């Protein structure tokens, strides 16, 4: 599988995993290891970086050499998001940010005007911006054109597990932007991740699909295989779809079989 390059950073894995909502720090750590992911997101405003037993989740992530991607989850305005990103840069020593600006608590869909405003401000402040956005080709193109390092359209609403609801828009986005396209949100099981990769997406970001599974570590391993298989299938190039059947063996040179009377 070819490497994923975002900005000036290359990653062997095309799976990005969140660090929230795991039953306990050990399950989180084991799941992240099983996933094979190199990049892990950390919600600066909402994540409890200290476990119930005093275990420091952030230290686990650093010990395992994960590339940390702080995010602005829980922000509802451009001002909140920019402030949170700057706090993350001070706390974690990185200028990478997964930008989220949410419109409401019910749908958790992005507030596009505020998202565009925040992205513009953060780019001027020398951040490497990876924005979570709607599966809208126009918005994704605007974010790409202004200099975002990747675009992250949703597959379905956050935490819904509904899978890839609009593959056609995702294909258009992939054709119209020159930066990596990372499906973010909505994945529920391994087949969803494989479908996203088969569509030509560069990576998939997920959290609840692993952390809320009955067996998170096992699901993390399944997601790793699905990402790898989906990407390999995309790179191999699928056969054309046909309305009618097409024989797999050639018609020429067939053995003639004559009928006999009994």
Please provide the DSSP assignment of 20-77 as one string. -S-SSHHHHHHHHHHHT-SEEEEETTT---B-TTS-BHHHHHHHTT-EEEEE-TT--S
List the catalytic residue out of 26, 52, 62, 98. 98
The alpha carbon of residue 261 and the mean position of all alpha carbons in its chain are separated, in whole angstroms, by 65
Please report the pLDDT score of residue 261 as a whole number: 57
Tell me if 19 is assigned to a ligand binding site.
Answer: no
Question: Domain for residue 93, yes or no?
Answer: yes
**pLDDT of 54 over the 50 cut:** no
- Is 79 labeled as catalytic in the residue annotation? no
Residue 131 inside a domain? The answer is yes
Q: Is 149 annotated as a binding residue?
A: no
Binned at pLDDT 50, 70 and 90, residue 57 comes out as: confident
Hey, which residues does 204 pair with through a beta bridge?
A: 15, 183
Residue 186 assigned ligand-binding role: yes
Q: Give the residue numbers spanning the domain of 146.
A: 4-236
**207 among annotated binding-site residues:** yes
pLDDT digits (tens, 9 = 90+) for 162-214: 999 999 999 999 999 999 999 999 999 999 999 999 999 999 999 999 999 99
pLDDT at 256 > cutoff 90: no
67-102: pLDDT as tens digits: 999 999 999 999 999 999 999 999 899 999 999 999
**Number of structural domains the chain divides into:** 1
Banded pLDDT at 260 (limits 50, 70, 90):
low
Q: Within a domain: residue 195?
A: yes
> Each residue of 107-157: pLDDT tens digit?
999 999 999 999 999 999 999 999 999 999 999 999 999 999 999 999 999
Write down the pTM of the prediction. Answer: 0.89
Provide the CATH number for the domain around residue 106: 3.20.20.70
pLDDT at residue 253, rounded to an integer = 62
Q: Is 13 annotated as a binding residue?
A: no
Specify the pLDDT at position 248.
75
Residue 257 falls inside a structural domain: no
- pLDDT tier at 45 (50, 70, 90 boundaries)? confident
d(CA 114, CA 32): 32
Q: What is the pLDDT of residues 217-244, one digit of tens each?
A: 999 999 999 999 999 999 999 999 889 9
């Amino acid at each position: 599988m070819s490497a994923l390059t975002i900005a000036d950073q290359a990653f062997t894995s095309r799976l990005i995993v969140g660090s929230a909502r795991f039953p306990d720090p050990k399950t989180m750590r084991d799941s992240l290891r099983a996933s094979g992911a190199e990049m892990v997101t950390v919600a600066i405003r909402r994540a409890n970086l200290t476990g119930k037993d005093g275990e420091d989740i952030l230290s686990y992530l650093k010990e395992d050499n994960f590339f940390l991607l702080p995010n602005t989850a829980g922000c509802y305005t451009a001002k909140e998001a920019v402030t949170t990103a700057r706090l993350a840069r001070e706390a974690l020593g990185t200028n990478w940010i997964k930008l989220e600006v949410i419109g409401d608590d019910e749908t958790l869909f992005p507030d596009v005007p505020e998202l565009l405003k925040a992205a513009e401000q953060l780019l001027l402040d020398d951040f490497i911006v990876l924005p979570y956005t709607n599966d809208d080709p126009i918005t994704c193109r605007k974010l790409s054109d202004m200099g975002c390092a990747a675009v992250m359209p949703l597959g379905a609403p956050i935490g819904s597990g509904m899978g890839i609801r609009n593959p056609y828009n995702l294909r258009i986005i992939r054709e119209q932007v020159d930066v990596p396209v990372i499906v973010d949100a909505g994945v529920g099981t391994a087949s969803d991740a494989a479908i996203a990769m088969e569509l030509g997406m560069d990576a998939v970001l997920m959290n609840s699909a692993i952390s809320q599974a009955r067996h998170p570590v096992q699901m993390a391993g399944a997601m790793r295989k699905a990402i790898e298989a989906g990407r390999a299938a995309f790179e191999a190039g699928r056969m054309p779809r046909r309305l009618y059947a097409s024989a797999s063996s050639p018609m020429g040179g067939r053995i003639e079989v004559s009928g006999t009377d009994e």
